[in-house]
Structure 1
Amino acid sequence: MKTATWLLLCASLLSAQEAPAEFEPLPRSRFPELPGTCVLLLVGHPNPVTMLDGRSGAEDAYCVTSDRSSYRWTWVAEPGAGMTQFRVPGGKDATVLLKGFGAARVQTLQGLGVTGDAVLVEAEVNGGRGAAEGAESLALTRLKVLDGTPEYPIKVSEAVAALRKKHDDRFRSCAAEIDQLLEAGRRASVRDEKATGPRSTQSLTYLTWDTKEGRLEVRFQTRISDGRFFIGGGTATVDGRTSTSRSGYEWAVDLEMKATVDRSGKPSAPVWGSLVPSRRFLPPFPSAPGPR
């Protein structure tokens, strides 16, 4: 199928959806200065978001975010932990050295009364010194859970789960259109050749707390992809097997949703973008030099 024909088919399928919403890019390495005490969102399973900046940590790690920032690595009180240095406002070399703080993880947070994948907290940052602009990590030297309190009745994890269900239901309802777009992508990429797969679905959830408006911001991105791949750049197809060194042609369809939830727990109406198709070629990795 020629590219022009593929684009026309994609356009006809997309026209059946409502006009795409405006979705600003997710933050990349955005770490604004924080005051000594502030409201922050503690978020678990952060790697899909931190990897947007090329960073990753433990699977059960927690980060903090507010006002559409990138996710910051977070330290909390941990008996027996050593000294850790954190950047604070006050100049390029301004730091504070804190003892007895370790990486925020499921076990350490449970001891502080924090449970759930996302929790709103009021926190003292770096002993009240705050966090410097650009600092990727900080310590919560004091924290208080706000979820379910009279001032913040919202229960963040429950609110996110309810919105996630709406997003997933919407994605499933688009199955026929997605299949057509994937088939169009296959024909445009490899013509009459078959897909080797595996067809995969990847999802990303980005959360942040808008301190000015006092509301949770939620973004979901889901991508379903397929392709005709080769192992190690050779001629043997993957045939459904996962390979860390695969190359070849990939085609995909993306759907994105955004919504907000106010501090009382009331969600806004979800806003969806259109189904967005894409194609790309994955070049083979250079071969390692042989013996001389």
Structure 2
Amino acid sequence: MKFKTILCCMLINSFALSKVIIWDFGGITFNPNKWGVAMNIGIHHFIFYAMVDFQNPNIQKMLFEFLEEIKRESGKDKYLSAGTAEGMPLPPIMCDWQSGKISGPEIIKKAKENIKELERLGYFRSNREKILVEKTISAMFDPKTLANNVYPVKQGIDLLKECAFAKNPDGSRKNLNIAFSNWDPLSFDIFYKLNKDSFKYFDEIVVSGHIGLIKPDKDSYEYVLRKYNLNPKDCILIDDQEVNAQGAKKCGIQTILLKKWNYKDLRLKLKMQGAL
């Protein structure tokens, strides 16, 4: 075990910590810069697609349908029902990506092979649609592009800091902050190096791509509970996805959903739970 992990377990066992707060990243403390990714793809591709093909340039549904066509590396594994913040289930290949079973560059390579075959079969409405799908995938799964288009959310980091410094009447720490998020390992590692200061209020960081498990899989929560010797009754998961909250509840973990960036409500709920 790493020294920090040992220290984390000692804190849990030795001090009267009120809560162990398990923080998601996306939509809580960090958020993707969709405009930045669109700039990398090329705004003109979206404009042409909308004006010439008369199609909605928000291509998430179309993109997910295309990704469903790509065969999984872990074809025999159970389907992991991870989803987006909007509640859309992720294509299986993206679950593999977030759990570290396949890398972004490998998905890009597979996608290009599929695009050639699907183009031959007349899958795309037009050449513009094919180009938009190809460029979107190349940007979306490129580790550097993704890492450079995620930003810390000040309100989330400020609340994390408040929880980190909260004290019991005897002066001991009130909370332990553990990050647990679905994130592919390559882009996360780049992002972490670029934004180390934003992670300083976390006692421990668990990323799905590093452990081979993905939320909302029950095994992923049990991994965190087991690794840090946690009692689920002492834990609070903060997430922005209902499916992840349901997974945590199956393990006996309390949950708080952050809705519409309402940090005032989140802070009030943490106060009611005794974390502040």
TM-score if structure 1 supplies the norm length?
0.25
Larger fraction in helix:
2
Q: Which has the higher contact order (CA 8 A, sep 6+)?
A: 2
Instruction: Find the structure with the greater CA-based Rg.
Output: 1
Larger fraction in strand:
1
TM-score if structure 2 supplies the norm length?
0.26
